[in-house]
Amino acid sequence: GNSVTQMEGPVTLSEEAFLTINCTYTATGYPSLFWYVQYPGEGLQLLLKATKADDKGSNKGFEATYRKETTSFHLEKGSVQVSDSAVYFCALKSGGSYIPTFGRGTSLIVHP
Amino acid sequence: ETGVTQSPTHLIKTRGQQVTLRCSSQSGHNTVSWYQQALGQGPQFIFQYYREEENGRGNFPPRFSGLQFPNYSSELNVNALELDDSALYLCASSLARQGANTGELFFGEGSRLTVL
């Protein structure tokens, strides 16, 4: 079946540091991949997505590249801000399923 | 454009009681999914409704049931509440064609249920 594995958090960084949150997946077929973000007290919001191999999704300074050979979709940002503090969820949806599968989430804490 | 709204935002129940949670989908969306998010965990899929019919279900017992109405709003009902049902319940809407969506979900802020 489908599964998503994310690095455990919390990830604690100083403002303007470089961010990487690792995500690897197992899926049948050729899934679409997503990163969602959940700010404190809110629901999840789609951050970025990629639908085929070598696609790069980007939004708000965050990027992730769909790597089929390593089954990975790592989230990166060159310079984090305090306002980026949130929980980040990697997710996938394979073509044969109606339903996205989510990882457990990685908490990011950015200090001034 | 109206986003996804859920009610109530917080509620407390006792073991054995029943609860109904409500969700209004985003304007133009025809599909609603419900997720359970325990503290520190990712969302776990409960079920999905498309055109008023359940068209996908996760690993949850039958005491978790739902409805979708002609205006695409939805309810989640949980009977015989257990302590482990304490969680944030998230509703997500999307636009699907022939029952299949792109995977892009628009979430509400959730209903936090505490079972004592």
Q: Is the pLDDT confidence value at B49 over 80? A: yes
Q: What distance in Å separates the CA atoms of residue B113 and residue B83, rounded to the nearest whole number?
A: 10
Q: For residue B62, what pLDDT is reported? A: 96
| Chain A positions in Cβ-Cβ contact with residue B46 (cut-off 8 Å) | none
> Which helix H or strand E contains B77, and what residues bound it?
strand B74-78
Cβ atoms B81, B102 nearer than 8 A: no
In angstroms, what separates the C-alpha of B25 from chain A's closest C-alpha? 14
Coil, strand or helix at B86: coil
**Chain A residue with minimum CA distance to B10:** A41
Q: What distance in Å separates the CA atoms of residue A41 and residue A38, rounded to the nearest whole number?
A: 8
Q: What distance in Å separates the CA atoms of residue B84 and residue B50, rounded to the nearest whole number?
A: 28
Distances (CA, A) of B71 to B20, B51, B56: 18, 9, 20
In angstroms, what separates the C-alpha of B18 from chain A's closest C-alpha? 24
**Chain A residue with minimum CA distance to B43:** A102
What does the buried/exposed string (b/e) look like for B10-32 if buried means 16 or more CB atoms within 10 Å of the residue's CB?
eeebeeeeebebbbbbbeebbbb
| Chain B positions in Cβ-Cβ contact with residue A43 (cut-off 8 Å) | 4, 90, 92, 107-110
> CB–CB of A43 and B103 under 8 A?
no
pLDDT digits (tens, 9 = 90+) for B75-96: 999 999 999 999 999 999 988 7
The tens place of each residue's pLDDT in chain A, 112 residues long, gives 889 999 988 999 999 999 999 999 999 888 999 999 999 888 899 999 999 999 999 999 999 999 999 999 999 999 999 999 999 999 998 866 667 889 999 999 999 9
Structure tokens at B17: 């009681």
- Kindly provide the residue ranges of all beta strands, DSSP E only, lying in A15-85, ordered along the sequence: 19-21, 23-26, 32-38, 44-50, 56-59, 62-65, 75-77
